Amino acid sequence: MTFLEVLYFIVPAAILYATPLIFTGIGAVFSERAGVIALGVEGLMVIGAFVGVYVNLEYFDVFGENVYWLALFAAAIAGMIFSLIMAVAAVTFRADQTVTGVAINMLALAVTVFSVKMLYNKGQTDMIAAPITRFDVPVLSDIPFIGPLLFQNVYIVSIIALAVAIAAWFVIYKTPFGLRLRAVGEHPLAADTMGINVGRMRYIGVMISGFLAGIGGAVIAHTVSSDFSASTISGQGFIAIAAMIFGKWHPLGTLGAALFFGLAQTLSIGGNTIPYIQDIPQVFLQILPYVLTIFALAGFIGKAVGPKAGGQPYIKGKR
Amino acid sequence: MSNRLVNILVPIISIIIGLAVGAIVMLVSGYDPVAGYSALWQGIFGDAYSIGNSIRQITPYILAGLAVAFAFRTGLFNIGVEGQLLMGWLAAAWVGTAFELPRLIHLPLALLAAAAAGAFWAFLVGYLKAQFNVHEVISSIMLNYTALFVTNSIIKNITDGGFKTETVPPSATLRWQWLRDITDNSSMHLGIIVALAMVLVMWFILEKTTRGYELKSVGFNQNAAEYAGMSVKKNIILAMTISGVFAGLAGAMEALGTYQNASIKAGFSGIGFDGIAVALLGANTPLGVLFGAALFGSLKYGALNMPNASGIPEEIVSIIIALIILLVASGYVIRVFLEKMSKKKEAK
């Protein structure tokens, strides 16, 4: 393989693997910026993947090839509804957010596998008939070098993910809503004093994370796995959290980190065919995102510090 | 209503609600909850074989629960039990298969190796927290996945591309024929004694030693502990390391008792995460962990009987366990409810 061929192989694959991480990571940013630890996004992705596959399988006859739009939308709504459990426990019932996240992950996996067995009498679903297909962006894909690198064989969801990241940056940093969201995560007492409804903002933050993580899960099911089983989502939610931390809780930072972790995943999966990369033991590429995250938190690569009030329930009248 | 009574009532109410919701889920999904729960019961207590295997399942749950509970008592959240367990699992299997020694030395050595491996993996978390202020939840999650890939890679290397180590020889196994005979050839093993001993060890460290007092103090209030002359950093590292010992031993139970080898895994065993549930239900006390492990361990094993005996997917039990955790974690609401109830009674 020539160097150029290697690039044309790696970059689109990295973007593909990064896409669900971007959706979920951005979702996690919204939740954590509001002060609710986003450990449950792994489970919300599981819900999204399952609902997406279910809708795709059941409504393919009605909507044909374009059924995946409905599937993605249903997955987003399902993720949002499921995240309400998280919000109710963590915000209203003042439960420990880490424990709640772990429980949500467990509950999501159990509910979906239970449903698959109930609906289909087997451990995994059939392959979906209408996965998301690749396409060439008109005009742009004819540009030499950049065309084949970025604009040929792309998934529409990758472009949407990019748009979501930019929109998230705008919403969080340039709108009154974003300011309130950040205030609630940094200093809820001060925010409350200024008349911001802390509980409501946190509910919204968590629900946005559910919406986006649902899409993230469905994207994996619609591009990489094409079916749903207990192992469809295996740690991508946590890599998304890692991307959020590595991106220092900033939407564009998260976007960059997600792309980088997507690259690491691509190399660990397809690296054995690429010169030079194949000499690196696979395990190093597999653990790269996790180890880098620890380094980032330890301050070796610029200190990553989360929202100040993350993980603490807000109790009115308590100092 | 006394505080102590409320503390006991919260988990019990949570279990009852969890089981009730489980029944509703079965009903709504078109299954028969009575058949489901009786299959579950049969799966746990049906015969000597089931009881033996339930105890086998409870064994690592006790240790994983102790690991989480010990860290909780010292103000730390060890969500990395899963990774520490995998390291212990591999270490025990490696020492078990790599040496030829008399059983009296070999078995304790394998257990020690597992404890050391788990302790090391948890030490990293403690060190990162003490030295660089890295939150233990994030670092231990990252180390969970690191452990999964690292152990898989090591197993692949030491077996020349195979997917599991050799079976541990009789000199390093936790199995004991007599236990298997009385339980109709179940895979129950001596590990339960190790686990019970560790329950005592945790109680002893926390309640009867100066060091345990220090660990708890740092958990309660870091500033007060620091002011009283205790080293917060040292205690954080030590607390994580001890927690890792329990987790590593849980791995040894699987390596030397249940599976008799270490194999490449596609995902986590789930024992570490269930350990969080066990510790939470047991209110982080050694005795509570024992009860929590007995409940969740036997539920998990008994569930395996449900698909065959009643046609209900065994995941229903995971749904119930997750609900119980959510409810216990939301204990604040149950407390408020209990207080209102007792006030009403007083008013009458």
Of all residues in chain B, the one with the smallest CA distance to A121 is B313
| DSSP one-letter code for B164 | B
Task: Decide if A188 contacts A42 (C-beta within 8 A).
Answer: no
Residue A112 to chain B, least CA–CA distance (Å): 9
Residue A261 to chain B, least CA–CA distance (Å): 13
Which residue, chain included where needed, has tokens 């590595």?
A246
What is the structure's pLDDT at B219? 86
What is the structure's pLDDT at A306? 80
Of all residues in chain B, the one with the smallest CA distance to A95 is B330
Question: Under an 8 A CB cutoff, do B322 and A282 touch?
Answer: no
Residues of chain A contacting B29 with CB distance shorter than 8 Å = 114, 118
Q: What is the pLDDT of residues A177-210, one digit of tens each?
A: 999 999 999 999 999 999 999 999 999 999 999 9
The Cα–Cα gap between B93 and B265 comes to 14
Angle formed at CA B91 by CA B89 and CA B95, multiple of 5 degrees: 120
Q: Is B141 on the interface with A (CB under 8 A)?
A: yes
Of all residues in chain A, the one with the smallest CA distance to B137 is A98
Does position A243 have pLDDT exceeding 70, yes or no?
Answer: yes
Of all residues in chain A, the one with the smallest CA distance to B276 is A99
Give 3-state DSSP helix, strand, coil % of chain B, rounded to 5. Answer: 80, 0, 20
Question: Under an 8 A CB cutoff, do A110 and B318 touch?
Answer: yes
Of all residues in chain A, the one with the smallest CA distance to B330 is A95
Residue B67 to chain A, least CA–CA distance (Å): 15
Q: Is B130 on the interface with A (CB under 8 A)?
A: no
What's the mean per-residue pLDDT of chain B?
91
Q: Is A312 on the interface with B (CB under 8 A)?
A: no
Task: Decide if B132 contacts A295 (C-beta within 8 A).
Answer: no
What is the structure's pLDDT at A1? 64
What is the structure's pLDDT at A59? 93
The Cα–Cα gap between B173 and B177 comes to 11
Give me A89's structure tokens: 């426990």
What is the structure's pLDDT at A182? 94
Does position A111 have pLDDT exceeding 70, yes or no?
Answer: yes
Residues of chain B contacting A107 with CB distance shorter than 8 Å = 318-319, 322-323, 326
Which residue, chain included where needed, has tokens 């239970």?
A114
Q: Is A241 on the interface with B (CB under 8 A)?
A: yes
Task: Decide if A13 contacts A184 (C-beta within 8 A).
Answer: no
Question: Under an 8 A CB cutoff, do A287 and B330 touch?
Answer: no
Q: How far is CA B198 from CA B66, B202, B203, B246, in A?
A: 8, 6, 8, 8
Residue A89 to chain B, least CA–CA distance (Å): 6
Residues of chain A contacting B153 with CB distance shorter than 8 Å = 281-283
Q: What is the pLDDT of residues A269-316, one digit of tens each?
A: 777 777 777 778 888 888 888 888 888 888 776 667 788 888 788 887
What is the structure's pLDDT at B59? 96
Q: Is A235 on the interface with B (CB under 8 A)?
A: yes
Question: Under an 8 A CB cutoff, do A291 and B142 touch?
Answer: yes
Q: Is B264 on the interface with A (CB under 8 A)?
A: no
- Which uninterrupted H or E stretch holds A155? strand A154-155
What is the structure's pLDDT at B151? 95
- Which uninterrupted H or E stretch holds B5? helix B3-28
* Helix spans in chain A (H): 3-33, 41-63, 67-87, 97-120, 146, 156-174, 176-186, 188-193, 198-220, 236-246, 251-270, 282-298
Nearest to A286 among B135, B149, B325 (CB): B149
What is the structure's pLDDT at B290? 96
- Residue B210: Cβ-neighbour burial (10 angstroms; 0-12, 13-18, 19+): exposed
Which residue, chain included where needed, has tokens 């010292």?
B74
Residues of chain B contacting A235 with CB distance shorter than 8 Å = 145, 267
Task: Decide if B68 contacts B325 (C-beta within 8 A).
Answer: no
The DSSP-derived string for B73-125 is HTT---TTHHHHHHHHHHHHHHHHHH----HHHHHHHHHHHHHHHHHHHHHHH
Q: Which residues contact B86 (CB under 8 A, 6 or more apart)?
A: B144, B147, B148, B151, B251, B265, B268, B269
Per DSSP, what are the bridge partners of residue B164? B263
CB atoms within 10 A of CB B271: 26
Task: Decide if A131 contacts A65 (C-beta within 8 A).
Answer: no
Does position A3 have pLDDT exceeding 90, yes or no?
Answer: no
Write out chain B's pLDDT in tens, 348 residues: 677 888 888 899 999 999 999 999 999 999 999 999 999 999 999 889 999 999 999 999 999 999 999 999 998 999 999 999 999 999 999 999 998 889 889 999 999 999 999 999 999 999 999 999 888 888 998 999 999 999 999 999 988 888 888 888 988 888 888 888 888 888 889 999 999 999 999 999 999 999 999 999 988 888 898 888 888 899 999 999 999 999 999 999 999 999 999 999 988 888 998 999 999 899 899 999 999 999 999 999 999 999 988 999 999 999 999 999 999 988 888 888 888 888 877 776
Nearest to B318 among A89, A98, A106 (CB): A106
The Cα–Cα gap between B237 and A274 comes to 42
Q: How many residues does chain B have?
A: 348
Question: Under an 8 A CB cutoff, do B313 and A100 touch?
Answer: no
Domains by residue range for chain A, with CATH: 8-134+154-298 (1.10.3470)
- Helix count (H) and strand count (E) of chain B? 16, 0
Question: Under an 8 A CB cutoff, do B267 and A85 touch?
Answer: no
Q: What is the pLDDT of residues B278-335, one digit of tens each?
A: 998 998 999 999 999 999 999 999 999 999 889 999 999 999 999 999 999 888 888 8
Q: Is B138 on the interface with A (CB under 8 A)?
A: yes
Of the candidates B128, B130, B91, B53, the residue with the CA atom closest to the CA atom of residue B248: B91
Q: Which residues contact A58 (CB under 8 A, 6 or more apart)?
A: none
What is the structure's pLDDT at B163? 87
